[in-house]
């Protein structure tokens, strides 16, 4: 019973963390170009880095 008091909140905390992570990926538009992401990973060249405009 005392194990539950620790494990259940822990499980919920981890699950909640994953949920927040998912919401963040959604908000930062990581699902907008799934085809591109799938292909991009195959090329080991450096991606075209955003250069600092300064």
Using CB under 8 A, list all residues that contact other proteins: 1, 4, 8, 11-12, 15-16, 18-19, 22-23, 26, 31-36, 38-40, 42-43, 45, 47-48, 50-51, 53-54
Q: Cα-atom radius of gyration of the chain, to the nearest Å? A: 19
CA atoms within 13 A on the CB side of 25: 10
In the complex, what is the shortest distance from the CB of residue 30 to other proteins, in angstroms, rounded to a whole number?
11
Structure tokens at 54: 């300064």
Q: How far is the CB of 35 from other proteins (least distance, A)?
A: 4
The two three-digit tokens of residue 53, written as one number? 């405009």
Q: How far is the CB of 46 from other proteins (least distance, A)?
A: 9
């Amino acid at each position: 019973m005392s194990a539950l008091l620790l494990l259940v909140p822990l499980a919920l905390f981890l699950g909640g963390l994953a949920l927040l992570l998912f919401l963040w990926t959604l908000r930062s538009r990581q699902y907008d170009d799934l085809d591109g992401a799938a292909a991009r990973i195959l090329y080991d060249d450096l991606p075209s880095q955003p250069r600092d405009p300064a």
